[in-house]
Structure 1
Amino acid sequence: MRILLAHNNYTVQGGAEVFYHEVARVLRAQGHVVAMFSAAEPGLDVPGVEHFPEAVDYRAGGLLTRVRHLPGLVYNRKAKAAMARLIAEFRPDVIHAFAIYVRLTPAILEAAKEAGVPVVLSCNDYKHLCPNYKLFHNGRNCEECKGGRFHRALVNRCCHGSTAFSAASMIEAYAHDRRDIWCKNVSCFLFASKFMARKTEEFWGKDRVQIDFLRNPFDAKKYHVAPNVGRYMLYFGRLIDEKGVQVLLKAAAMTPEVPVVIVGDGPDMDQTIARAATLDNVRVVGPAWGDDLADWLRGARAVVVPSLWHENFPYVILQAFAAATPVVGARRGGIPELVDAGPHGWTYEASDASALAALLRDVAAAPDDQIAAMGAAAQAYVAAEFTDDAIYTRLMAIYERVTQ
């Protein structure tokens, strides 16, 4: 089978790009011919780069420049033409798209439709429903744009807190909705969490589009840490309001006997450091990756995922499990689907600092052998569920269904 994968960025910048490249790796390992399609990047030298189209940078320049660039981030005609040329040359059996808004834009979906090539679209955030892609702004979850009321994005200034960005995202959402560009041109929408699939049906109507499930590839061996029951509760990830770190700090203030370590960086770094400085049981250590992060995981008793927004499929949970560490997770989005999949951890009502504090006390007081058993179960779970064979089997079932 010949498969064309499309995603905004070729260079890895986060989990979305890891997903893109991991799918390519799994398919190639099984003998499939794979082509990649991304927006052009300065200095990029990879196979097929001659097909990569230019994408506008809406963040660059002043107001007039941004207004001039707006049509290109809503509907990139150069990307559509480049996709059409690549389809004609490569002749794919199926196109698997990932995050394509703003840079490639859904214009490339129309090129696929016109060429008669089925498209499956992996949705890792809520951009197909929400102008700011999070269903969250200013410290709260939000569904005000449901029913095509995208002007609420501008009213709330929910895109980067900027009137200009919010206006552009509002126009983008109205334009795509007017063309029905997602539903008309995608054969099957793929989700990692049942929560996001349900939310899509709530916004668009049940059975309007075909839905299936594909978990993100995850190399458990890469993050494997020898089982060890530690003493502190660990948060690692981005320090930003939707991640709920301030809730964790409130809970830590209620449990001075429970040590907490916070690993990460982000726009709330200074605020987090200032608050932690008033708490004797909290330590903020900044960002850590690779072996440094493994060391922090090795010393953790549990990993806390206190998100306030509807997380889709947080990799931090899988990393914790691979390190034989159970998880204390907020009941938001896809978090319970992972934590409640076995004896892997505990969940609590998101934003309830008192409930989180009670769990922190319980976990700190639990017998070491109980924590060790939960960690071992978590590690076995990711090792069994997130294999290349499992991902490949799901991919083939999906591709074969849309190509029949």
Structure 2
Amino acid sequence: MFFHEVARMLRANGHEVAMMSCAEPGLDAAGVEFFPEAVDYRNGGIIKRVLNFPGMIYNRGAKAAMARRISEFCPDIVHAFAIYVRLTPAILEAAKEAGVPVVLSCNDYKHICPNYKLFHHGKICDDCKGGHFYQALRNRCCHDSVAFSAASMVEAYVQDGLDIWRRNVHTFLFASKFMAEKTEEFWGKGRVRIDFLRNPFDVARHEITPNVGDYVLYFGRLIEEKGVDVLLEAAALAPDVPIVIVGDGPDQARLNARALGLANVRMVGPAWGDDLAQYLHGARAVVVPSLWHENFPYVILQAFAASKPVIGSSRGGIPEMIGDARGWTYQASDATALATVLRQVVQLPNQKIAEIGADALTFLREELSDDSTYERLIAIYRKALA
């Protein structure tokens, strides 16, 4: 999503932008003839998957395709996003060999963590710090699978051994100070160039007429690290607080069953577009109860665009986004603390909720407008080009 938003913003300011991705059936995009095939390491027999596995770590076909794309388009700079597993960091070497500087937006922790989340089996995890990637296999941290965890362990060892990230990226871009500090904690302070760029967000397209509703809204994936279990536990402790949960995911059936005994909770399944906008319009506040270190949650941007305060856990970049004026934070995984905040939110006067929501929207317009984001992005590009 942010990949396309950056391209949209650059084109709107008169820049030529060429996209690079892996080819997929039915994909219709300019330059698709340059897109390499993604290596299939999930399907087929064991021999086929083993033979394809090296391409997950270092996709030589993608590197060659990137070299052709650079030769044809002659870019001044390459801006990379989420290139793991499919394009792989091999494309960074193609840029390096062509003398084109690379900036890499890091929206998760894959550059330092084999499973990209610093989280597994219900807990925060830093076990791989110091290059101890064997811990990924020991913890079965990737899909709770020995095979996937072993593959991710090997991937991390190879890419770390080649120093493929630090050697080929001019500047690492982070949307939160937390992720930047965590990267330096793993790699060492000052070992790479770091800069900050909040992910662009088309505020006007997501704005909703302000309204103070009566329920607290969760929307997003129904999966362990999102903390919906903690939200349901808090709902049981605050039965006077109406809560609506929008979303689907691998834990949907289990969470639906758990919510059956809670009269104040409505599980409504997935919703997008206008349907989601209606739930946002009717909400009093949005809750983001994440257990993992979320970097820059898109749901918070959507909440702010709808003039909604946010109740967020104290993990990752969430407290940075909420600040002191746009909502409330609580100690992650503490259902009692969350219940206290939920009760506080429903007891506040509507005017106060409206004021906090207005501050959230103002923050979004000022800090994440196309103009301010573009100005910051071009300053970063100029540093790399210099």
The answer to whether structure 1 residue 246 and structure 2 residue 237 are counterparts is: no
Partner of 1:355: 337
The answer to whether structure 1 residue 148 and structure 2 residue 131 are counterparts is: yes
AA matched with 1:92: P
Out of 289, 299, 304, the position equivalent to 1:316 is 299
The answer to whether structure 1 residue 298 and structure 2 residue 281 are counterparts is: yes
Alignment of 1:47-62 (within 5 A): 47-62=30-45
How far apart in 2 are the matches of 1:372 and 1:89?
52
How far apart in 1 are the matches of 2:72 and 2:41?
31
Deviates more, 1:108-117 or 1:175-184: 108-117
1:343: how far off? 1.4
How far apart in 1 are the matches of 2:90 and 2:42?
21
Helix, strand or coil at the partner of 1:36: coil
Helix, strand or coil at the partner of 2:213: coil
Partner of 2:74: 91
Alignment of 1:18-97 (within 5 A): 18-97=1-80
How far apart in 2 are the matches of 1:176 and 1:282?
45
Helix, strand or coil at the partner of 1:265: coil
How far apart in 2 are the matches of 1:258 and 1:194?
33
Which TM-score applies when normalising by structure 1? 0.94
1:226: how far off? 1.2
Q: Deviations over 1:292-342 (max 9, x none)?
A: 1111111111111000000000011111111111010000000001101x5
Helix, strand or coil at the partner of 2:173: strand
The answer to whether structure 1 residue 207 and structure 2 residue 190 are counterparts is: yes
1:227: how far off? 1.2
How far apart in 1 are the matches of 2:310 and 2:10?
31
State how many pairs are aligned: 386
Partner of 1:14: none
Identical-residue share of aligned pairs (%): 69
Q: Deviations over 1:35-73 (max 9, x none)?
A: 111111112222111111111122112322221111100
AA matched with 1:326: P
- The alignment's C-alpha RMSD in Å is 0.9
Which consecutive unaligned segments of at least 5 residues does structure 2 have?
none
The answer to whether structure 1 residue 401 and structure 2 residue 383 are counterparts is: yes
How far apart in 2 are the matches of 1:88 and 1:293?
43
How far apart in 2 are the matches of 1:173 and 1:231?
47
Partner of 1:371: 353
The answer to whether structure 1 residue 288 and structure 2 residue 279 are counterparts is: no
Which TM-score applies when normalising by structure 2? 0.99
How far apart in 2 are the matches of 1:45 and 1:222?
24
Q: Deviations over 1:79-109 (max 9, x none)?
A: 1111111112211111101111100000111
The answer to whether structure 1 residue 279 and structure 2 residue 262 are counterparts is: yes
AA matched with 1:242: E
How far apart in 2 are the matches of 1:223 and 1:132?
31
Alignment of 1:123-162 (within 5 A): 123-162=106-145
How far apart in 2 are the matches of 1:353 and 1:62?
45
Deviates more, 1:247-256 or 1:32-41: 32-41
How far apart in 1 are the matches of 2:69 and 2:211?
50
Helix, strand or coil at the partner of 2:374: helix
Deviates more, 1:225-234 or 1:185-194: 225-234
1:222: how far off? 1.5
Out of 313, 326, 330, the position equivalent to 1:344 is 326
